[in-house]
A = this chain, B = another copy of it.
C-alpha cells in the first residue's frame, strides 16, 4: 500500500516558470513536442511546442550530447540544457541543449499539414478533417484558449452574483421550443428527443435557486448550411428571478462581458497577442428598440425594409455598422422583438402586445445572444399557449411549476462558438468549434 498525497512538483519547467523562476545560465529541464527543426548551418533551432507557447532549443555540435538526426518532428521529448536570453527567440529565452530524451515517436514520416507555419495555409475543410493536427498550430490553438476564457468568465462572474450551476438532462420527452428542428432518438423503445435548449429546466430551477446557469451542449436539427449555424453547440445559459424588468438581464450580460474582457486581458494576454486581437469596449452597451433601429438603418443605408416584424441577416449587419458609426460600439442590444418571432413563454410588452420584453445582443453585426423576460403567471402562460393554438401536452411538469408559484424572471442564452468567432475575427463558426457538427460533418 502506498499513499497519494497530492500533486507532485516536477523537475521539468513550463515557459512561465522559465521566465519567472529560473535565471539565465541555470541548468533546466523541459519537455514538449518537436514543433519544427530549423537548420542554420553550424547550429540548428529545435522548436518545442508547449502548452504556454513555443520554446527554442539551440543545437550545437560538441555541446549537445545527442545526434540531431535521431530527433523527428512531432516526437515528444525531454530536454536538458542551459537557459539563455535571446531577444529574437519566442518569449526572449532559449535553451542551449545538452541532453535529449525521446518520450514518444510518431509513426508517420510526415505531417498532413504544415502546422509550424505561423498561419496555417490550408482550407477549412482540411483543417476540420485533420482537427487533432491542425489545432497544433499555435494560432489555431489560441482561439480555443480564448473560448475557455469566455466560458470561465461566465461561470466565475455568475458565481459571484449568487447564481447556482445546474446540469439539466439532454435527453427528454419533448423539446422546449417545439418545431421540426429536433433530433429524435429511441430511448428504450420510447420516443425521445435531444434538448434544443435548457429553457424549461432553467426556468423550473429559478423557483428553487432564484438564479441558475448552465454551460452545456444543445442540439438543433436545423437544415441550415450557413457560416453561422451548427447542429450542436455550447450554450451559455442563465435565468434569474426577482427581476424588475428585462433590463436586469441585459445589465447582467453587460456585467459578464465586462468581467470577461478583464479576464482575457489578464490571463489570456499570450493568446490575444498571438491572434493580434484588440478587445471590444464594453463600458457601456447601447440598447435600441427593434422598430426604431430597423427604421434608422433603412434610412441611413437606404436598405429596403421587407418585413417590419423580421430581422434579416443583412439588417443585423447594418445594425452592427450603425452601432459602430453612431455610438462607437461593437455590441448593441436590440430590444422589443415582435411577439410572433418569440416563443410562447416570452412576456409580451404590456404597452404594445405585438412586441415582447425581450432582446438580442449583436456583436459586430451578428446575433450572439437571445434573452428576455418570461411569463411567470400560470394563467397568463396557459392563455398564451391556447391563443397560439398550441397544446399543453408534454409540458405538464413545466406548467405545474408555475401553478405553485414563480417569481418574475428572465434569462438568456449565448452561443459560445459564435461569440468566440466574432471576438477573434473569424467569419465561419466552424473555425471556433473544436469538432463541428453540421449537415455534412459528423466526424471527426
Contact = CB atoms under 8 A, between A and B. Distances in A.
Contacts of A51: 162, 164, 209-211
A248 B164 contact: no
A6 B251 contact: yes
Interface string A148-185: 10011001000101101111111111000000000111
A33 B404 CA distance: 11
Contacts of A72: 405
A12 interface: yes
Query: How many copies, total?
Result: 2
Interface stretch (A116-124, A299-307, A349-357, A431-439): A431-439
A397 B210 contact: no
A133 B405 CA distance: 10
A317 to B, nearest CB: 19
A406 B76 contact: yes
Interface string A192-210: 1010000001001101111
Contacts of A34: 405
A74 B404 contact: yes
A285 interface: yes
Contact of A437 (B74, B144, B171, B207): B171
- The size class of the interface chain A forms with chain B is 35 or more
Nearest to A436: B169
Contacts of A165: 148, 151-152
Contacts of A207: 33, 132, 136
Contacts of A269: none
B405 A75 contact: yes
A14 to B, nearest CB: 7
Contacts of A183: 171, 185-187
A2 interface: yes
Contacts of A141: 208-209
Interface of A: 1-8, 12, 14, 31, 33-34, 50-52, 72, 74-76, 103-108, 111-112, 130-133, 135-136, 141, 144-145, 147-148, 151-152, 155, 159, 161-162, 164-173, 183-188, 190, 192, 194, 201, 204-205, 207-211, 216-217, 219, 221, 223, 231-232, 234, 241-242, 247-248, 250-255, 258, 283-288, 327, 333, 376-379, 397-398, 400-408, 416, 434-437, 439, 442-444
